[in-house]
Amino acid sequence: MTLDQATIDRLAATPVPPQRLLIGGAWQDGSGAPMPVLSPIDGSRLTTLATASAADVARACADARAAFEDGRWSARPPAERKKVLHRLADLIDRHALELAVLGVRDNGTEISMALKAEPGSAAGTFRYYAEAIDKIHGEIAPTQANVLALVHREPIGVVGAIVPWNFPLMIGAWKIAPALAMGNSVVLKPAETASLTLLRLAELALEAGVPPGVFNVVTGPGAITGEALALSPDVDVLVFTGSGATGRRLLEYSARSNLKRCYLELGGKSPNIVFADAPDIAAAAKAAAMAIFRNAGQVCVAGSRLLVEASIHDAFIDALTRATTQMSVGNPLQLTSQIGAINSLTQLEANLRFVTDATAEGGELVTGGNRILADTGGYYMDPAIVTGVAPHHRLFRNEVFGPVLAVTPFSTEQEALHLANATDYGLAAGVWTGNLGRAHRMLRGIRAGVVHVNTYGGADITVPLSGTRQSGNGADKSLHALDKYTDLKTGWIQL
């Protein structure tokens, strides 16, 4: 799709009506006081979100359970579910620019990235799992004579999904599409600061033919709405992307309720490792800047720790600084902006504290690290590069989720591997080298769910995204994600 600034501006001027909850196929007001939605672009009030109380969530979960039990979706032939999800993908494509602009107004992602990463990715995800529906089936196991052993895959029931604010439509689709494809019902709880595109997705799902009660959306604070969803005895599986602190609470809620399965994609502090024998140092420097600063650093797999071989450290930092300072920070609805807004004032202030702490601990601020464009009323930050970050520093250990890069030198391959793994996280990593043997050694030795070699980012729906250690468990994307949304049942038949 060719982006046109005039069309973007027209869509951005469209008023957003007060939002409601989708429960049992009907749009309803929440029991709690409506929450204001502030745009990170200029701090203006976009609209309001409904606040779902615990009673509202219980009603949504009960409706999802009833929809599952009566088979209006779970018992539909695979070919019929497939047609509905394809229609939904087509509707997402038809409304792609509208969805992208709405999402940018809500969470601040730069429009050129948002169009591809949000509706573009979501449509592809629904098509991928639609095509998987009639190709995933059970087994006949080899067993003893006079016995027929059947292994059935069955939908689990009700899936509770809690998704973050950085890429709500993309990450939401990673969870909603496979859950629906396998015949489950879904109750979705978006982030308070990025709910609008997922509420619009719910409208499109009804239009596509997803039956009432099969896909429900409840909005509200995590401490009220999210907690009620996680404690619900009607929820069989809980899937979540977000912070480690929230993930721990969800596990506690599972233990306190019905021992629902919890699949968590949590934080990351991903190393991006550059060896002196990297095939193209200039390209690696540009990629390193994009790896941390795209979407203002608000990416779970962001290459937030740059490990650089000491012999090229200074030259690489010079190239990296040039690449960074050439990136334009500004209104994310403008096509000229390469870095958009920070999602909220709270997140911006947290980012700035990381920079202050890093310099206090002995790091050197090479560039950036300040709030900029404050006169717009929006939340913008000059991308920060901090060198001399030691393994005991807070910036080395803790996820920022903002445009702040920690740089640490190393001298040997063994030291690079040790530094890469010197964190509680294990989500992603990058390695830049021209040595094939080293690439394989690092790929094997780094403890992370995704390891990029001579690139950073770009993995598509065909491969899993899964964390290790405190980055979570279970896989989003690929056919492996379907395991989260199905039960295995053995049929043992005496012949």
Judgement on whether residues 213 and 286 belong to the same structural domain of the protein: no
Is 302 inside a domain boundary? yes
- The three-point CA angle 161-39-102 to 5° equals 60
The tokens for 246 are 């929230």
Is the per-residue pLDDT at 9 higher than 80? yes
Is 467 inside a domain boundary? no
Judgement on whether residues 182 and 317 belong to the same structural domain of the protein: no
Q: State the DSSP string of 127-191.
A: HHHHHHGGG---EEE--STTEEEEEEEEE-SEEEEE--SSSHHHHHHHHHHHHHHTT-EEEEE-B
CATH number at residue 32: 3.40.605.10
Average pLDDT score over residue span 9-27: 98
The tokens for 91 are 């509707």
Q: Which residues are part of the catalytic machinery?
A: 265
Global pTM? 0.97
Is 72 inside a domain boundary? yes
Kindly report, residue by residue over 97-127, the tens digit of the pLDDT. Answer: 999 999 999 999 999 999 999 999 999 999 9
Contact 155, 489 (CB under 8 A): no
- Exposed / middle / buried, residue 441 (Cβ in 10 Å: 0-12, 13-18, 19+): middle
- 420's CB contacts (< 8 A; 6+ apart) are 271, 273, 307, 429, 442, 445, 446
The tokens for 480 are 């492996």
Judgement on whether residues 279 and 209 belong to the same structural domain of the protein: no
Position 312 scores a pLDDT of 98
The share of the chain scoring above pLDDT 70, in percent, equals 100
Predicted confidence band of residue 458 (pLDDT cuts 50, 70, 90): confident
- How far, in Å, CA of 393 to CA of 363, rounded? 9
Judged by DSSP in three states, 410 sits in: strand
- 101's CB contacts (< 8 A; 6+ apart) are 8, 11, 12, 111, 333
Kindly report, residue by residue over 147-160, the tens digit of the pLDDT. Answer: 999 999 999 999 99
The tokens for 211 are 């039956």
Average pLDDT score over residue span 223-232: 98
Is 262 inside a domain boundary? yes
CATH number at residue 312: 3.40.309.10
Judgement on whether residues 359 and 411 belong to the same structural domain of the protein: yes
The tokens for 36 are 């204001």
Judgement on whether residues 302 and 451 belong to the same structural domain of the protein: yes
Judgement on whether residues 386 and 364 belong to the same structural domain of the protein: yes
Report the mean per-residue pLDDT for the chain: 97
Judgement on whether residues 298 and 194 belong to the same structural domain of the protein: no
The tokens for 58 are 């219980």
Is the per-residue pLDDT at 35 higher than 80? yes
Handedness of CA 66, 124, 208, 241 (dihedral sign): positive
Contact 115, 139 (CB under 8 A): no
CA 373 remoteness from chain centre: 27
Is 486 inside a domain boundary? yes
Task: Determine how many CB atoms are found less than 10 A away from the CB of residue 316.
Answer: 24
Judgement on whether residues 232 and 297 belong to the same structural domain of the protein: no
The tokens for 191 are 């982030």
Contact 62, 157 (CB under 8 A): no
Average pLDDT score over residue span 81-110: 98
Is 400 inside a domain boundary? yes
Is 466 inside a domain boundary? no
CA 387 remoteness from chain centre: 28
Judgement on whether residues 35 and 95 belong to the same structural domain of the protein: yes
- 280's CB contacts (< 8 A; 6+ apart) are none
The separation between the first and the last C-alpha atoms of the chain, rounded to the nearest angstrom, is 59
- 10's CB contacts (< 8 A; 6+ apart) are none
Number of separate domains in the chain: 2
Judgement on whether residues 246 and 284 belong to the same structural domain of the protein: no
Average pLDDT score over residue span 37-48: 98
CA 341 remoteness from chain centre: 17
Is 443 inside a domain boundary? yes
Predicted confidence band of residue 1 (pLDDT cuts 50, 70, 90): low
Alpha-carbon distance values, 165 to 16, 46, 177 (Å): 18, 16, 18
- How far, in Å, CA of 432 to CA of 437, rounded? 12
Q: Which domain holds residue 171?
A: 5-266+472-494
- The three-point CA angle 292-295-249 to 5° equals 85
Judgement on whether residues 199 and 342 belong to the same structural domain of the protein: no
Judgement on whether residues 59 and 187 belong to the same structural domain of the protein: yes
